[in-house]
């Protein structure tokens, strides 16, 4: 990736649409655009060039080799530094057919532009100081957001709310480091304040506490950003497929009174109060001689391994739950919600038995037939996924595993500094640990980073972003 090149790419998704956008960025962007675009009217001379900055011009994109018209389009120039990449940027708004966009892009590339690599526009924005690394990562989260809540999280991080918090913690660590090193280098100077051990300890604990607060939000943020894999389990004919249909609000799975109807895995994504829930309806768990049903049960157990949550459905009207308990004993390290279905047919004794059998577990009663208890189930799923009983989104949340790892490394360094102080070692050793913490915090925003990390992050982006 040569960042001195002028790059170009189609910035809109593949397929047909009303409008397709081609983006050019780099020092030669305006010159290249001028060789493939003719405005319908002669434009007035703008500041810095023929075309005015940030103004749309209507004209024709053509092939310079033979002057063949390719498309009628709008063109806009956004000159540096006030552009997405911080470089001169040109955008063509063409008709949204894949072939016309491809031919226009080919004409641009023949004039000296290079096809952009995945994420190269965003990488240039980061390197030119238009956004920090955490904000750049939020761009792809914004594109991939599946719910309003994940969209809001990405938007807040794009605006820099996480970066601001991380920088506040880093500045506190830098201030403490400067005070410690000043005391070491200039112990006899009157204007240098020598920090006491108790003051250093107090400030280290404050820094560690702020990092801990951020780390505590990771599981919540990860679920909002990535969603949660949720498998519907239970014995045959307890209402698993009916439950899937109710949560999706559509007839996705076949529902009959015949046990063993579901044999293959049915997967769908449903929005549960802002959480993307990847639901899997599975074959009923039982001993069977049917080869196809046996394969379905084996697939079920394989999918269970990759799931974070289990909706375990039982027949509430049955009143006997020993076989269900045997199945549950094999499920470990999962969030489990016990769903007693067919409450409309259950006796008082059966309901009492249900609560006794699963007394230590999260549970609720529903009727898939009568559509009762489904909203309560949605709230219960949300509570189990997020860990708190509100759908309000408050404060700074981390959702990226890279940020989590850097924060954990920073916290370990601060804890080592506390131990160093406690053991009575010199302030030089405390300073070493503080420098480590500051470096790890800087990795989150990109103040400290490596080319390898940048390549891995921006390679996740699509071409044109």
Average pLDDT over the chain, rounded to an integer: 85
**pLDDT, tens digit, for every residue of 164-181?**
999 999 999 999 998 888
Residue 265, pLDDT score? 61
125 pLDDT above the threshold of 90 = yes
| Cut 0.85: pTM above it | no
In this predicted model, which residue has the larger pLDDT, 200 or 193?
200
How far are the Cα atoms of 47, 113, 117, 124 from residue 2, in angstroms, in the given order? 29, 12, 10, 11
Average pLDDT, stretch 109-127? 93
373 pLDDT above the threshold of 80 = yes
β-strand pairing of 228-234 with 309-315: parallel
pLDDT band for 301, please (50, 70, 90 cuts).
low
Contact yes or no for 5/31 (Cβ under 8 A): no
**pLDDT, tens digit, for every residue of 425-450?**
888 899 999 999 999 999 999 887 77
**pLDDT, tens digit, for every residue of 377-412?**
999 998 888 765 444 455 688 989 999 999 999 999
Average pLDDT, stretch 210-233? 89
Residue 238, pLDDT score? 84
How far are the Cα atoms of 126, 179, 438 from residue 184, in angstroms, in the given order? 37, 9, 19
**pLDDT, tens digit, for every residue of 337-361?**
999 999 999 899 988 999 888 888 8
- Select from 454, 460, 448 the least CA-distant residue to 3: 454
Q: Residue 311 and residue 416: Cα distance in Å, rounded? A: 43
pLDDT band for 260, please (50, 70, 90 cuts).
very low
* Domains recognised in the chain with CATH numbers: 7-130 (3.30.1360.120), 139-217+398-446 (1.20.120.430), 228-386 (3.40.50.300)
pLDDT band for 289, please (50, 70, 90 cuts).
very low
pLDDT band for 261, please (50, 70, 90 cuts).
very low
Residue 150, pLDDT score? 86
Owner of token pair 């490596």: 450
């Amino acid at each position: 990736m040569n960042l001195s090149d002028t790059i170009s790419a189609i910035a809109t998704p593949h397929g047909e649409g009303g409008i397709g956008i081609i983006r050019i960025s780099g020092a030669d962007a305006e010159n290249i655009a001028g060789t493939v675009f003719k405005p319908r009217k002669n434009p007035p001379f703008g500041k810095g060039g023929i075309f005015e900055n940030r103004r749309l011009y209507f004209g024709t994109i053509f092939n310079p080799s033979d002057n063949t018209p390719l498309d009628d389009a709008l063109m806009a120039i956004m000159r540096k530094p006030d552009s997405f990449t911080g470089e001169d940027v040109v955008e063509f708004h063409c008709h949204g057919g894949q072939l016309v966009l491809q031919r226009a892009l080919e004409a641009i590339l023949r004039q000296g532009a290079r096809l952009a690599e995945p994420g190269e526009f965003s990488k240039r924005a980061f390197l030119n100081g238009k956004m920090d690394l955490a904000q750049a990562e939020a761009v792809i989260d914004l594109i991939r957001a599946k719910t309003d809540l994940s969209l809001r999280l990405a938007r807040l991080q794009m605006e820099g709310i996480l970066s601001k918090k991380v920088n506040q913690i880093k500045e506190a660590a830098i201030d403490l480091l400067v005070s410690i090193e000043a005391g070491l280098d200039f112990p006899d100077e009157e204007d240098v304040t020598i920090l006491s051990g108790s003051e250093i300890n107090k400030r280290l604990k404050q820094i560690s506490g702020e990092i801990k607060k951020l780390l505590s939000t990771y599981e919540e943020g990860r679920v909002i950003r990535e969603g949660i894999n949720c498998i519907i389990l239970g014995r045959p004919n307890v209402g698993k497929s009916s439950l899937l249909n109710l949560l999706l609000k559509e007839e996705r799975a076949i529902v009959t009174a015949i046990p063993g109807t579901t044999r293959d895995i049915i997967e769908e994504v449903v929005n549960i109060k802002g959480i993307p829930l990847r639901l899997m309806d599975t074959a009923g768990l039982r001993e069977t001689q049917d080869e196809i049903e046996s394969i379905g049960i084996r697939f079920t157990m394989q999918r269970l391994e990759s799931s974070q949550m289990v909706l375990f459905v039982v027949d509430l009207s049955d009143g006997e739950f020993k076989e269900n308990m045997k199945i549950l004993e094999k499920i470990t390290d999962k969030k489990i919600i016990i769903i007693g279905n067919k409450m409309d047919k259950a006796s008082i004794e059966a309901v009492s038995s249900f609560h006794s059998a699963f007394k230590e577990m999260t549970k609720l009663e529903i009727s898939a037939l009568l559509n009762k208890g489904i909203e309560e189930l949605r709230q219960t799923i949300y509570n189990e996924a997020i860990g708190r009983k509100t759908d309000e989104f408050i404060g700074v949340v981390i959702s990226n595993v890279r940020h989590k790892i850097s924060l954990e490394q920073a916290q370990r360094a601060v804890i080592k500094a506390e131990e160093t102080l406690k053991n009575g070692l010199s302030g030089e050793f405390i300073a070493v640990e503080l420098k480590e913490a500051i470096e790890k915090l800087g990795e989150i925003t990109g103040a400290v980073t490596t080319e390898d990390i940048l390549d891995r992050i921006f390679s996740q982006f699509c071409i044109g972003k």
